[in-house]
Structure 1
């Protein structure tokens, strides 16, 4: 049975409003939530970037379902700090926190003034960081000298069981690599054939745990209104990797997009005025092989989407699953 979650976008919504939105999402019938972890928004019009780890403590305290996050240890976050943060959240809210770890994006990491490494180096750094985090969560004293450096670190306040650490991947190559260490896979909606390759690479590589999909949608009373939201708020979805990993400023994403290609944007975001049709489109993606689907309405105002989710979208998805 596919788990249907709500994605909380820190880049678009002030933390206080996002806290209300995640509570409304639980009341609407979502099975859980996940959130982004950015220092900067994707474009200037989004205009927000709350600190995810602070927000998660409040969100978990005000809800009863599970909430996870995407996180990139190794540059902006030292893995010892990440381990301590994860341990505290899981100790307070047992069985309700998870994280999907990735190699990061320059837009969030460049602020340290350290050089931005190439992808293979970032993957090596991620693998070392995951090992450090897991050892600390297991109660070890850790010293390490490699892509990351650690000196006699211990995490004293730990949960009974550590939270699951998933991997983020947008390509089959990365998904196959992650299968060796991850407790699940998280990716974003792409062409169905690409998603099939990503899931197959992870599973055929021995990858265990859930396969998680984040789906961007734009819902409004008319198709034109829904498209206008996507064009204003999520044109960054037209910037593909590896370029998207290497840009530093929100303005850089607007410049990279230039004139918006409507057909391509409609591929990146499910634009729809019909909640039934939207539910069916989400269900089609879930059937590719995903255990969890987190739905991200790309508008800054979440109320109408959450109302439609409660009355139509979630009931239809639950019928489909």
Structure 2
């Protein structure tokens, strides 16, 4: 095993291309992968957003990788439906699926036409949704009245082994709260100081599960090309909460990002044409305290990144994972 995983970005690559990418990721030595679960991309240049749960079935069948998916139950998805999806994949592919739950973004959830709730309301809804999902995965019949409503739901197909339910958290406050209900924590790259605060908040609140990072990187033939492509595709993804939670369309994200510079993108994406630099950055993240790092190649050329990973990243971190 390694302590590395590959991130499959549905917002940037079509489902067939992404399936080929995870197959290549396995061939070069990755044993872990994760994917996003959006209804819309962050901007029109990204230009894709396939249905993650259909794709996951194909990806699990086409590889032997273990997969995770980030999901926001409660508005776009009813928690009973997500529980059914998790149970089905868990039954078909034992010990190869996990989910990280978050409170969602308006970009995706607004499609239902329902009001976009405040963050405290969304957290309350998320906690209730996770409770419903856990009860269903345990084989119980569930009825619930609250931020979500459930009427006598029961799953008839269950996984033989428990499926781990993590929390997706960006802030220390959410990380501390997640320690109350999650099996572990997933976050995204920020400054080292902020990442240490997120991990510290989770651990201080009693969280003892795995702590994982989605690390955005840009690798290309030259530094200039890597930075140019990172800026083109990812400048809409530099905004901190609550702005990133509340913007409601790819076009609005593009408007907000029109003055974002390439240098500012480097605060969210590790940019380098030097393979050794990528090895050092991953090592630094592991030293911060992460048990596993999932690498997201922001430029669309996944093959160049994965071939670099085969010769540099995978050998450097070929050790027993946490």
TM-score by length of structure 2 reads: 0.97
Aligned to 2:288: 288
Aligned to 1:120: 120
- Count of residues paired in the alignment: 321
Aligned to 2:149: 149
Preserved contact between residue 2 and residue 31 of structure 2 (Cα < 8 Å): no
CA distance in 2, matches of 1:5, 1:155: 30
Going from structure 1 to structure 2, the CA distance change for 1:320 and 1:282 (only over 3 Å counts) comes to farther
Structure 2 unaligned residues grouped into runs of 5+: none
- Trace 1:26-105 onto structure 2 (pairs within 5 A): 26-105=26-105
Relative to structure 2, which stretch is displaced further, 67-76 or 304-313?
304-313
CA distance in 2, matches of 1:319, 1:91: 29
CA distance in 2, matches of 1:273, 1:319: 25
Q: Any idea what the Cα deviations from partners look like across 1:38-68, whole Å, max 9, x if unmatched?
A: 0000100000001000000010111112100
- Cα deviation for residue 320 of structure 1 reads 12
- Trace 1:1-321 onto structure 2 (pairs within 5 A): 3-318=3-318
Relative to structure 2, which stretch is displaced further, 257-266 or 214-223?
257-266
CA distance in 1, matches of 2:63, 2:158: 22
- Cα deviation for residue 165 of structure 1 reads 0.2
- Cα deviation for residue 208 of structure 1 reads 2.2
Relative to structure 2, which stretch is displaced further, 181-190 or 295-304?
295-304
- Cα deviation for residue 2 of structure 1 reads 6.2
CA distance in 2, matches of 1:244, 1:43: 12
Preserved contact between residue 2 and residue 293 of structure 1 (Cα < 8 Å): no
- Cα deviation for residue 319 of structure 1 reads 7.7
CA distance in 1, matches of 2:175, 2:312: 33
Describe the SS at the equivalent of 1:239.
Answer: coil
- Cα deviation for residue 259 of structure 1 reads 1.5
Structure 1 unaligned residues grouped into runs of 5+: none
Relative to structure 2, which stretch is displaced further, 162-171 or 306-315?
306-315
Q: Could you list the structure 1 runs, at least 4 aligned residues long, displaced by more than 6 angstroms after superposition.
A: none
Q: What RMSD in Å do the two structures reach over aligned CA positions?
A: 1.4
Preserved contact between residue 229 and residue 298 of structure 1 (Cα < 8 Å): yes
- Cα deviation for residue 261 of structure 1 reads 2.2
Relative to structure 2, which stretch is displaced further, 113-122 or 156-165?
156-165
Preserved contact between residue 8 and residue 33 of structure 1 (Cα < 8 Å): yes
- Cα deviation for residue 286 of structure 1 reads 1.8
Describe the SS at the equivalent of 2:155.
Answer: coil
Q: Any idea what the Cα deviations from partners look like across 1:221-253, whole Å, max 9, x if unmatched?
A: 101100011011111222221011011110111
CA distance in 2, matches of 1:47, 1:265: 19
- Cα deviation for residue 148 of structure 1 reads 0.2
Preserved contact between residue 3 and residue 31 of structure 1 (Cα < 8 Å): no
Preserved contact between residue 2 and residue 286 of structure 1 (Cα < 8 Å): no
TM-score by length of structure 1 reads: 0.97
